[in-house]
Amino acid sequence: MTPAVDEAAVDLGVEIAGTTFPTPVMTASGCAAAGRELAPFLDVARIGAVVTKSVLLDPRSGRATPRMVETPSGMLNSIGLQGPGIDAFLATDLPWLVQRGARAVVSIAGGSLGEYAELGRRVGVAPGVAAIEVNISCPNVEDRGLVFACDPSQAARAVAAVRRGVPRDVPVLAKLSPDVTDIVAVADAVVEAGASGLSLVNTTLGLAIDPETLRPVLGGGTGGLSGPAIRPLALRCVWQVHAAMPTVPIIGVGGIRTGFDALEFLAAGASAVQVGTVTFHDPSAPARVGEELRGELAVRGFTSPGQVVGVAHRSAQAPIDRPVPQGATL
């Protein structure tokens, strides 16, 4: 094993599709609101980015309660994209993030191609947007309510609709659902449609039954399963997509709780990660995981997250690109 380097020698900065982030650890959409609520627990300017809760064109009440149930190492949610709508978001939430010096990755969600296009146009020109993440795990009202993310061509059309209205220098990330037979096919389609990178993955559908009523716990019946329970599933998706498309930037998301969990995703092929459900357990988690990752890198002799990206795909004998330890003789 390569000798450890000093933690101070690790530069956590990463570049994704031309945009730089001070650390590879971001919040995950739907798990940090628009950042402000986490300010008592972490400095939003010092984490990689704040990925905001998906915003729609209009205000949305969300679903009836109960919206959440705890499951082993995870939870199910059925929030229903509650939010203030794009006008209020651009007037209040985004300026707060920009003023605080945070990188704002704005998640958008629509029910039709027209809505995706309009959201892309409006967010794309808003000052201070580091990137747009397209949440395509939404029912398409023009296609019998089928979820965009579950069909490669519909997923591609949604991403293309956004991409057309967004300035070239603003990356458009597509957040994919793991609830598909072939995630590589969806990844391929959205990259072809103009996605600059991929966020892998959204929640996977789950169900919990109430012990007394023997009916679904959640008001919406099924819900999205998240948390460490889905980490191996998310990691597998990152692994498969990176193997097929090694040059496409991937942001890994799914159950990351510790610095080592983040390192796993980097090794599988992610350039950055998002910390989601674990933020409910530990509101400082997006900052803590970044610092823990620094330690995990240093102890293995790495000075940058980029040195680890995709190493899990190389044969066990292949050399890993580490810096030469100080004082070593060549």
Partner 1 sequence: MTAATAHGPLQVTGRVLSVDRVGDYHHLTLVASGVAERTRPGAFVALAVGGPQSAMLLRRSFSVYRARRSGVYGGTVEVVLAVHGKGTEWLAGLRPQDEVDVVGPLGRPFALPQEPVPCVLVGGGYGSAPLFGLAERLRARGCGVHLVLGAATERRLFGVLEARRAAQSVEVTTDDGSLGVRGPVTAVLPAVLGRTCAAVVYACGPMAMLRAVAHLAEERGVWSQCAVEESMACGVGVCMTCVLPVRGEDGVVRMVRSCTEGPVFRGDRVLWDDVGTVPEGTLGAPRSGGHR
What are 206's two structure tokens? 């789950």
CB of 290 to partner 1, least distance (A): 16
323 contributes a contact to partner 1 by CB under 8 A? no
Angstrom distance (rounded) from CA 111 to CA 117: 11
Name the segment binding partner 1 (CB under 8 A); options: 62-70, 184-192, 200-208, 230-238: 62-70
62 contributes a contact to partner 1 by CB under 8 A? yes
**Among the listed residues 40, 127, 319, 327, the single contact to partner 1 using CB under 8 A:** 40
Q: How many CB atoms lie within 10 A of CB 114?
A: 12
227 contributes a contact to partner 1 by CB under 8 A? yes
Beta-sheet strands, E only, within the chain: 14-16, 19-21, 25-27, 50-51, 68-71, 74-77, 104-109, 129-135, 139-140, 146-147, 172-176, 197-200, 204-206, 223-226, 250-253, 272-275
DSSP code at position 32: S
**Among the listed residues 17, 46, 63, 236, the single contact to partner 1 using CB under 8 A:** 63
278 contributes a contact to partner 1 by CB under 8 A? yes
Size of the site for partner 1 (CB under 8 A): 47
What are 74's two structure tokens? 């995870």
**Among the listed residues 3, 45, 73, 146, the single contact to partner 1 using CB under 8 A:** 73
Query: Is 237 one of the annotated active-site residues of the chain?
Result: no
At residue 74, φ and ψ (nearest 5 deg) are -175, -165
**Among the listed residues 166, 279, 290, 308, the single contact to partner 1 using CB under 8 A:** 279
- Locus of tokens 């398409």: 140
Beta pairing partners, 207? none
CB-CB contact of 30 with 79 (8 Å): yes
**Among the listed residues 3, 101, 139, 221, the single contact to partner 1 using CB under 8 A:** 139
Residues binding partner 1 (CB under 8 A): 30-33, 37-41, 53, 58-68, 70, 72-75, 77, 79, 81-83, 85, 111, 139, 141, 145, 219, 227-228, 277-284
Q: Which residues are catalytic?
A: 138
